[in-house]
Structures are given as structure tokens and as C-alpha cells.
């Protein structure tokens, strides 16, 4: 089967519900020449509070509010249309069986591995954050243990010990990745942490593991621009040559992203996060990303889904600049 393309004059609310009306590709044979693929991971059996992220992939795709097919999507400030530079397809959803978290992880990993084998940059749309375990291990299997660094946008560290709730829940994936040796603790950079955690023992463990974080408290004190200068410098100097970005939508203040499962007042804003994403994808060797915990049943007017959609677009704009050998506009330009 070849790729499926929408009818041309599709309104935003019409047509195939693929990401940004990208062509649909369902088999590895359709990945020839593809740069980027969107893959849905619709499961939420790993959540500890409010479920619903299984509906995230569909909601993020359909939050697209652009006319025509394909629509023009030039970033006003960056001056790049990621779909002009990159050949992007929608790879559909992994076949996650309901009520079977291990099965969901297995299916996501299989489908993601097809993308990695084909040399495609994956954007995995969760699903709950336990997704990080199968998707990061797939990336590590592709690039080798110790060869992948991880930049995590999140309110929480997701490094709980695995005793309670079982080893697969969304509270623990980062701990498992470190403890099992997939990612080294010092190859973690976490951005946006705040709130009522971690337990003293967890905190000790994280420090001992060499993990680093830029909390929202630090961002309040120093400003996001300065923090990102340090993130980029540190990542360039100390992370391995492959970087994966794991983005939990709850890093945003919950009023920007009410449609998620684990709320915490006082998070980041789009005007802080979007330029950070532009920089990370333009200036660092990112090889894939996931975007998790969009639970549309708690959303309003599709705000959270739209925000997630734009998180992907802002990331792809950075990637498009990098792939086309261009740089971010200087800070003085309009």
C-alpha cells in the first residue's frame, strides 16, 4: 500500500484525522524517504490518578486547526515551514490492547522500532508517561547503551521506586531506565520540576545517580532564557551524541493544560517553553521525542490538545532549521 493523502480542499474539521493532514503510512514499506513519523500510543493503564490519556493521540491529531490539505504552516518568527523541509507521515497508532499495560508497551516498542530501523525521526504521542520505558529502550537499542541522553520536560521526576503500583506504572519509568542501565543518571536533564516531592530517599537516589534538574523555582529566579543557555551548553558538553526529548504536558501550568491526569499548580507557560523547544531541536542532536499525558476528557475547548499539537510543531520547526542548516533568528530580530 502506498501512502494515503487527503482530498485537497479539506477544512480543518474534515478529512482524514492525521497529524497536520500529513499522509498516512501504515507499514514499513511506506517509510521510504520519510524524515519524521507520528506514532500514537493510546494507553493509560499506567496512571496513578486520573486516567484518560488513551484518548490523547486522537485528540492531539484533531486539534489541528489549519485549512487545506496539506496546509501551509510557516512559523511566523522562525521563518520555516517544517513540512516544507521535512517529509512527515502519520504512522497511525500502535495496537495497544486495553486493560493490558505490558501488551501496550510491547506493541509501541515494535512499531517504534520499525521507524528507527527505517531511519525515521519518531514523534510518539502518548498515552501515559510509562511510555518512556518502551520508547526510550527502543531508541537505546538502536543507538547503544550509554549513547543516548534524555531531556525531560515535566512537573514530576517519574523516578519513584517500583514497589507499589507495579513496575510498569507512570511513576517509575525514569528510575527503571537508569537502574537497568539504558540511560546513565548524569545523562538526564529535567526541566520544570516543582511541587511536593520527591521523598527524601528518592531525592538521595536521584542525586547519587547524578541526575540534574532545572526546577521551576530556578526558572523563576534566573529566567528561562538564562536557564536554557545553561541547558544547551551542558547538553552540548556532557550529553552523548544522541538526545531524546520526553515531554510531559503537565510541565505546563495546569490552567494551560487542564487535560492531563496529574495536576500541580504553578507550572510553566507556552511563552517559556516554545522558545526552549526551538533551541533544543535546532541546536542539539535530537533523535526522537515523545509527548505524553494528554487526557482530553479533562480538557476544555481542546486547549490542551492544541497546546500539545503546537509543542510538536515548535519542535519540528527547530528540527527543520537544523536539517536545513539554518540557525535560529538572533535575539534582536522581530
| Residues of this chain, 225-264, that bind a second copy according to CB under 8 A | 253-256, 258-259, 262-264
Q: Which residue number, 34 or 101, has a Cβ lying nearer to a second copy?
A: 101
Options 34, 37, 38, 101; binder of a second copy; rule CB under 8 A? 101
Q: 314 in the Ramachandran plot: left (φ > 0), alpha (ψ -120 to 50) or beta?
A: alpha
- Residues 6 or more apart whose CB falls under 8 angstroms from that of 221 comprise none
Give CA–CA dist 254/267, Å, rounded.
Answer: 7
Contact set for a second copy, span 135-174 (CB under 8 A): 164-166, 168-170
State the greatest distance between any 2 C-alpha atoms of the chain, in Å, as a whole number. Answer: 57
Q: In angstroms, what is the minimal distance from the CB of 297 to a second copy?
A: 6
Other Cβ atoms within 10 Å of 334 Cβ, number: 5
Number of residues that bind a second copy (CB under 8 A): 105
- CB–CB of 176/137 below 8 Å? no
Per CB under 8 A, does 24 bind a second copy? Answer: yes
As given in the structure block, the three cell numbers for residue 85 are: 523541509
Per-residue string for binding with a second copy, 38-77, x by CB under 8 A? --x-x-xxxxxxxxx-xx-xx---x--xxxx---xxxxxx
Query: Do β-strands 188-191 and 212-214 pair in parallel, antiparallel, or remain unpaired?
Result: parallel
Piece of the chain touching a second copy by CB under 8 A; list 9-17, 116-124, 173-181, 237-245 = 9-17
Q: Which residue number, 151 or 287, has a Cβ lying nearer to a second copy?
A: 151
Q: Which residue number, 145 or 300, has a Cβ lying nearer to a second copy?
A: 300
Options 138, 249, 284, 306; binder of a second copy; rule CB under 8 A? 306
Q: Which residue number, 237 or 333, has a Cβ lying nearer to a second copy?
A: 333
Q: Which residue number, 246 or 260, has a Cβ lying nearer to a second copy?
A: 260
Per CB under 8 A, does 215 bind a second copy? Answer: yes
Query: According to DSSP H, which parts of the chain are helical?
Result: 56-62, 82-85, 101-117, 132-143, 173-179, 200-209, 216-222, 224-238, 270-283, 303-323
Amino acid at each position: 500500500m502506498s501512502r494515503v493523502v487527503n482530498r485537497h480542499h479539506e477544512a480543518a474539521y474534515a478529512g482524514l484525522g492525521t497529524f497536520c493532514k500529513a499522509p498516512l503510512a501504515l507499514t514499513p514499506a511506506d517509510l521510504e524517504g520519510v524524515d519524521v513519523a507520528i506514532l500514537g500510543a493510546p494507553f493509560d493503564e499506567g496512571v496513578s490518578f486520573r486516567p484518560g490519556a488513551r484518548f490523547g493521540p486522537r485528540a492531539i491529531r484533531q486539534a489541528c486547526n489549519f485549512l487545506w490539505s496539506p496546509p501551509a504552516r510557516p512559523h511566523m518568527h522562525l521563518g520555516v515551514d517544517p513540512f516544507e523541509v521535512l517529509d512527515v507521515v502519520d504512522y497511525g497508532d500502535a495496537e495497544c490492547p486495553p486493560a493490558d499495560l505490558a501488551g501496550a508497551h510491547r506493541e509501541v516498542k515494535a512499531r517504534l522500532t520499525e521507524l528507527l530501523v527505517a531511519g525515521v525521526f519518531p514523534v510518539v504521542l502518548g498515552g501515559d508517561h510509562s511510555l518512556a520505558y518502551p520508547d526510550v529502550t527502543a531508541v537505546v537499542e538502536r543507538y547503544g547503551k550509554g549513547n543516548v541522553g534524555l531531556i525531560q520536560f515535566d512537573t514530576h521526576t517519574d523516578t519513584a521506586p517500583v514497589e507499589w503500583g507495579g513496575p510498569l506504572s507512570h511513576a517509575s519509568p525514569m528510575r527503571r531506565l537508569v537502574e537497568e542501565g539504558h540511560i546513565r543518571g548524569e545523562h538526564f536533564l529535567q526541566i520544570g520540576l516543582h511541587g511536593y516531592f520527591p521523598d527524601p530517599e528518592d531525592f538521595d537516589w536521584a542525586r547519587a545517580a547524578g541526575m540534574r534538574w532545572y526546577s521551576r523555582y530556578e526558572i523563576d529566579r534566573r529566567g528561562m532564557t538564562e536557564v536554557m543557555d545553561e541547558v544547551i551548553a551542558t547538553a552540548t558538553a556532557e550529553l552523548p551524541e544522541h538526545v531524546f526529548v520526553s515531554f510531559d504536558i503537565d510541565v505546563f501550568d495546569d490552567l494551560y493544560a487542564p487535560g492531563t491526569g496529574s495536576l500541580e499548580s504553578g507550572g510553566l507557560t507556552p511563552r517559556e517553553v516554545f522558545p526552549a523547544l526551538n533551541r533544543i531541536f535546532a541546536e542539539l542532536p535530537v533523535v526522537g521525542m515523545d509527548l505524553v499525558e494528554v487526557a482530553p476528557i479533562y480538557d476544555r475547548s481542546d486547549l490542551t490538545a492544541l497546546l500539545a499539537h503546537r509543542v510538536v510543531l515548535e519542535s519540528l520547526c527547530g528540527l527543520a532549521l537544523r536539517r536545513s542548516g539554518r540557525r535560529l533568528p538572533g535575539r534582536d530580530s522581530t
